[in-house]
Structure 1
Amino acid sequence: MSAAPAAPQPASAEALDTAGGEKTGALDLLLVPPRARTGWRLLPARIGALCTVELQKLRHDRAELYTRAVQPALWLLIFGETFTRIKAIPTGGIPYIDYLAPGIIAQSAMFIAIFYGIMIIWERDSGILTKLLVTPTPRSALITGKAFAAGVKALIQAVVVIVIAALLGVALTWNPLRLLGVAVAVILGSAFFSCLSMTIAGIVLTRDRLMGIGQAITMPLFFGSSALYPVSIMPGWLQAVSKANPLSYQVDALRGLLLGTPSHLALDYGVLLLAAALGILAASSLLGRLAR
């Protein structure tokens, strides 16, 4: 006779504990949310999340990047080439189109950022801003996320302008550290101008008024900087305006980094950082008024 089949052995306690632990752990992952970031990690995480949300909007409107490249291309092709030929503006021995290119990078970045307040008014009108304000996210994180998203958009625009300038024969540096400095200057400048726009939005409260004020201040900011000509040839009153204009410090940093001309990088970055911080503070303080 054949032997009877052996009875199944009971699982060991250790195996049962292991299986039960795996099931419990799987259930915990489904039922218990991950631990929230706390302390010093909270604010950067919220800023990064809001910045990412803003940048995702580019996936639905990529044409904006192409259309915005037209104006800087025209400045370089028409204004830059013409004034290079007539040599009417002293540029320290470099071709005028080379001198102009960093100013056009700063201008195109400013034009993107200065109307950023229209987006936050649209979010107010559609109810998105109210929903954001009832979350635990600090208002400063909300503004900072939007400001640095504007900086990243401006950085994409700056890359386009640099490529156009290189195709036109502008002698730009390709040193990675200098290009990193260019990126920082573009982001800080754009962060300030976007916060300026959001601050104005918190005061005027409507898109039409903001559009009018934005159009009224963009060209004075541009012409009242060193983007087109040296500060030394400006009249005295315009030199005073230029020294109070953050765009002048951004242009000075970009010109020094890209062309190697004399610049004051420590002062330039200090002013841009201070301007961005004050802009975030001002826009954050008016965000509640905009949402009411």
Structure 2
Amino acid sequence: MSAVPAAPRPGAAEPDPRFALLLTPPPPRTGWRVVPARVGAMCAVELQKLLHDRTEIYTRAVQPALWLLIFGTTFSRIHAIPTGGVPYLDFLAPGIIAQSAMFIAIFYGIMIIWERDSGVLTKLMVTPTPRSALVTGKAFAAGVKAVIQAVVVIVIAALLGVGMSWNPLHLLGVAVVVVLASAFFSCLSMTIAGIVLTRDRLMGIGQAITMPLFFASNALYPVALMPGWLQAVSKVNPLSYQVDALRGLLIGTPSHLGLDFGVLAFAAAVGIVAAGSLLGRLAR
């Protein structure tokens, strides 16, 4: 016998067709739409972490504040480093912004290793999300943290009397520069994590390369003052291009913004490819 269809309940109304779109779950994102969705989700997670616990913001502000207060003011008095007529504290501030952002990103691979140890990375790897989208999301999430850190350093520099441009377009450019550079350095960290596989090794390598990257850039002194071999290193150091762009945008010194943005975007893209290729090895 065929089943008799159940009669509709008295008083039950059919769904209003005007709300059908709202009641229908959205289709899963595929193709290129996965990347912005993943990036947005990762950035939202980082913002939630910072809003939940602001201690990291305060503690990370100590080191750049000391660089500006002690190193910057001292060298401003002795005039030991020629900066082309720019006060040394003004010259130094963009370099410290870049340094503080790099210090956040360069140890981002530790978080990937922690996610592997806790099983989170394995769960992410079995989803349909491409590895490049996962790495890009992590990279730009590091950029969000770095931008917040940059805002803190800019406020400290302004309180110390550093003359900076407050043009909204310049500030937007600063945010883009910080995000691109942080994306590269976080991908560098994730690439190293995919090679060394342990937190202790990554911490040691991270500490070994951060200061050479910093001192082999134009963050503390003009490139013209460096010996020839260090100038060559500075030319392939993405941090130098980040500092050059920040100086041009914030204090108006001559810069090569087109070249700076191009190098940082290329470095970030190469970093994403390299980190994505090693993500599977890290997850095993």
Query: Taking structure 1 as the reference length, what is the TM-score of the superposition?
Result: 0.89
Partner of 1:166: 158
Which residue type is aligned with residue 111 of structure 1? F
SS of structure 2 residue aligned to 1:195? helix
SS of structure 2 residue aligned to 1:20? coil
Q: Which residue of 266, 271, 284 corresponds with 2:276?
A: 284
After TM superposition, where is structure 1 displaced by more than 6 Å over at least 4 residues in a row? none
**Mapping of 1:175-194 within 5 angstroms?**
175-194=167-186
CA shift for structure 1 position 260:
0.6
SS of structure 1 residue aligned to 2:14? helix
Matched, 1:71 2:63: yes
8 Å contact 2:46–2:145 — kept in the other structure?
A: no
Which residue type is aligned with residue 209 of structure 1? R
SS of structure 2 residue aligned to 1:91? coil
Distance in 2 (alpha carbons) for counterparts of 1:123 and 1:102 = 33
CA 1:122 to 1:69, structure 2 compared with 1: closer, same or farther past 3 Å? same
Q: Which residue of 13, 22, 38 corresponds with 2:16?
A: 22
Distance in 1 (alpha carbons) for counterparts of 2:120 and 2:179 = 25
Distance in 2 (alpha carbons) for counterparts of 1:133 and 1:257 = 39
**Mapping of 1:1-292 within 5 angstroms?**
19-22=13-16, 29=23, 33-292=25-284
Distance in 2 (alpha carbons) for counterparts of 1:278 and 1:38 = 23
Distance in 2 (alpha carbons) for counterparts of 1:208 and 1:166 = 37
CA shift for structure 1 position 269:
0.4
CA shift for structure 1 position 39:
4.2
Deviations 1:128-150 (A, max 9, x none): 00000000111111111111111
CA shift for structure 1 position 99:
0.3
Partner of 2:6: none
Distance in 1 (alpha carbons) for counterparts of 2:266 and 2:31 = 25
Q: Which has the larger radius of gyration?
A: 1
SS of structure 2 residue aligned to 1:171? coil
Distance in 1 (alpha carbons) for counterparts of 2:180 and 2:241 = 11
Distance in 2 (alpha carbons) for counterparts of 1:20 and 1:65 = 52
Deviations 1:149-176 (A, max 9, x none): 1111000010111111111111100011
* Percent identity between the two aligned chains: 82
CA 1:67 to 1:21, structure 2 compared with 1: closer, same or farther past 3 Å? closer
8 Å contact 1:179–1:257 — kept in the other structure?
A: yes
8 Å contact 1:54–1:146 — kept in the other structure?
A: no
Distance in 1 (alpha carbons) for counterparts of 2:198 and 2:46 = 21
8 Å contact 2:39–2:141 — kept in the other structure?
A: no
Where structure 1 has 5 or more consecutive residues not aligned to the other structure, the ranges are 1-15
Aligned residues: 273
CA shift for structure 1 position 36:
2.1
After superposing the two structures, state which structure 1 stretch, 52-61 or 168-177, moved more.
Answer: 52-61
Distance in 1 (alpha carbons) for counterparts of 2:59 and 2:278 = 32
Query: Taking structure 2 as the reference length, what is the TM-score of the superposition?
Result: 0.92
Distance in 2 (alpha carbons) for counterparts of 1:40 and 1:110 = 28
After superposing the two structures, state which structure 1 stretch, 83-92 or 54-63, moved more.
Answer: 54-63
